[in-house]
Every structure is written in structure tokens, then in C-alpha cells.
Structure 1
């Protein structure tokens, strides 16, 4: 049986070396590439090097929001668990998720909508929630865009990475085409997930520390 006698940080360093080597001349500026390579590291999927989308100035605006202590709302507890709290702690950023709250479930059942929708409505009532991380539910992203259109919230950043066959691609397309003026990070297609959404936050936190 083979064993890998490497420390965690050595494994991560070697992983990024392999990613950089295999990606070759990817054409991305360094800040965006730091985010994409961490997404690839999390997913082992090089397709993200071709499908990621960043609004103009998104990385710089995201770093500014983190350094300002912006609250971070996630659409799943999985994304919440994947975000590195120690990396956010120096900036005073708190991450939260309401999808499992009992009042959210009860309201969703009464109104005949998904928990993700009612959770998003609850999330915007906390005005410190300025970064929205969506890695699972297209309904959460559609609802956030509706709330922005209704002028109930203007996010400091939207990370839109919902995954799946129903609505995921469409919700990301709507995000990319939005003209509301907020920065966003997303991708084209059905792929995404809570793990890659969390990876983007972690990459931004590292960049914020370096800035």
C-alpha cells in the first residue's frame, strides 16, 4: 500500500503547482487566477478556467468589502461550513445561513416557496449581510436578483455558483446580464456547488490579507 508522507501545506503547495502547470497559458490576470485555481483545487475540474465570469473590478470590490467587515450570507450550511472562519476573523466578517431556521421552514410551507427563497428574504433584513454566496439553489439567486430589482438590497458582492439541471444555468445567465451595478463572480453552465462557492470566499479572504 502506498502512503503519502506529506504535510497538509505541502500537499496544497504541490496541488497548486500541478494546477498551474496543467493550466498553462490560461490568460487570466493574477487576482482572478488566484480564485480560479482554488476553485480547480476544490473541484479537480479545469473547465472552470474557461467558464468563470467576473464583473469589472469584482475582485477589488470584494476585497474592500471583506476588509470593511461585511457580513457573508450563504444559501447552504455546507457552504457555511466550507468557509474558513479564521481567515475572516481579522476583518470582523461573520458568515451566516438561515436555510435551516425553523421560522424559515414554516414560512416557506405557508407561502408555497422554497426554504432558500424565504431564507434569502430573512437574510437581507440583516443589513450587515453584504456579501451573498449562492452555491446550491437557483431559487436563492433568482430571489436575490428580484430583491435587488425591487431596491430592497444592493449587495457588495454576489458569488453565484448554483449547481444543477433546473434553473442553475439560467439564474447565472440572469446574474451575468444584470445591470444593477453590484459586483459578481459566477460561471457559465450547470456546474457549481457549495464547495466551489466557499472556495471563492476563502480565496478572497487570502487576497484581502495580502492587500
Structure 2
């Protein structure tokens, strides 16, 4: 098994050397993993997550709703917003790749009103950041990207269940020891909204960015195949 970039251009590294290094890295991951349980649209996501962390445990820890990869590609091709729990994700996602599809990326965790509301309610900024995104109409048909704050993920799940929120996809990979594992397990019980999660305590913004870049590449492949 070897890496095949399948003619992508917009979602490739910008220099020939950068492309060669990345392609060889992906090929090494393919060789060392060998056989795996993931489908052809899922493995590129897991591969890139392993590439970003050098942690082969994500071959197994990563789980997908059956419609996750397809839903993510469709949303990107439609120019969806991406709403993140923290600024790190917004900084990490390639701006030229987003611009190619007309996608925008948002976070509200540091907004003054979010901070004030969280303090007044003795809650977390992550909760009120997601509520603000919802008020602004950014969560429906969006990709919601959570890599740090379990409370952000729990709030999105609440909005889905109680207020009929319908994101296109949730990439739910909060890292840590308090509610991280539980929030992802709860997300995996949803069948009305596609999701990608990492089981257990492991997660983080780096993984979410890697998954988003993989989905952008899959979207480009889909667009070229039309």
C-alpha cells in the first residue's frame, strides 16, 4: 500500500520538496500500518492524524459515523463555515485551502461578551462561544471542530437534542481528563449528525486540524472526479 495524491493541487504543499516530504511520510505510515479497518474515504483522515502526531494509536482510536467523510466533503464543496472551539484550530487550518472552496473559519472563545456571559453564569467560555455561534447562524450546515474543550462539544450536543441544530459534521476530539472521554462517547450515540471522534482521553487541536486538511483533500478529489 502506498500514498497516491490522485492529482490534487489546491490541497498539496506549495513546493515540490514539501510535497515530496509529505508524500513519503504518508507512504511510510501506509507501510507501517499495513492492513486496517478503515474505508477508502476514512483512512486518509486517520493517516494524516498519525502523520501530524507520529502516534500510531490513532489507527484504532479514531471512529467515524458512516456518513462522516462524505458529509464533510459535501459541506466543504458547498463552502461551509467551520466553527472551532479554540483559536489554535483557526490558525492551523490552511487559509489558501479554505479560500479555494470558499470556506470560512470562526471562533468566539476570546470575545468580550462570551467571557462576560461565562463569568456571570459560572460556566465556561466554550459553552457561550458555541451559543454565540448558534445565535449568529453559523452552526447549522457547518463543520464543528472541537479539539480542546469538552464543554463546547457537550453544548453542541445539547443544541442538537434540544433546539434541532443540524451541523453538517462534528469533528469531536477534545483532549484531557475531565469530561473529554465522556463527551466523545456521548457524541458517538448520535445518529442524526455525522461525527468523527477519537476514543478515550487523547485528542487535541493538532488532530482536528489534520482531520480538516484530510477532508479538504477529499473534497478536492471529489470535485476533480465530477
- TM interval, shorter chain, is over 0.9
Equivalent in 114, 131, 138 of residue 124 of structure 2: 114
Distance 2:153 2:116 in 1: 21
Distance 1:152 1:189 in 2: 27
Per-residue CA shift, 1:163-194, capped at 9, x if unaligned? 00111000000000124x01111121100000
- Aligned residues of 2:83 and 2:133 also touching (Cα < 8 A): yes
Give the C-alpha shift of residue 9 in structure 1. Answer: 2.0
Give the C-alpha shift of residue 69 in structure 1. Answer: 1.1
Moved over 6 A (4+): none
Aligned to 1:150: 162
- Aligned residues of 2:108 and 2:114 also touching (Cα < 8 A): yes
Q: Which consecutive unaligned segments of at least 5 residues does structure 2 have? A: 1-15
- Aligned residues of 2:109 and 2:125 also touching (Cα < 8 A): yes
Give the C-alpha shift of residue 7 in structure 1. Answer: 2.7
Distance 1:93 1:124 in 2: 17
- Aligned residues of 1:135 and 1:163 also touching (Cα < 8 A): yes
**1:70-85 matches, cutoff 5 A:** 70-85=80-95
Q: Which consecutive unaligned segments of at least 5 residues does structure 1 have? A: 1-5
Give the C-alpha shift of residue 210 in structure 1. Answer: 1.0
TM-score, reference length from structure 1: 0.93
Per-residue CA shift, 1:122-160, capped at 9, x if unaligned? 011232431100000001001110111112521111000
Q: How many residues align?
A: 205
Equivalent in 134, 141, 153 of residue 141 of structure 1: 153
**1:25-40 matches, cutoff 5 A:** 25-40=35-50
Aligned to 1:182: 193
Alpha-carbon RMSD across the aligned residues, in angstroms, is: 1.3
* Partner secondary structure for residue 163 of structure 2: coil
Distance 2:115 2:216 in 1: 31
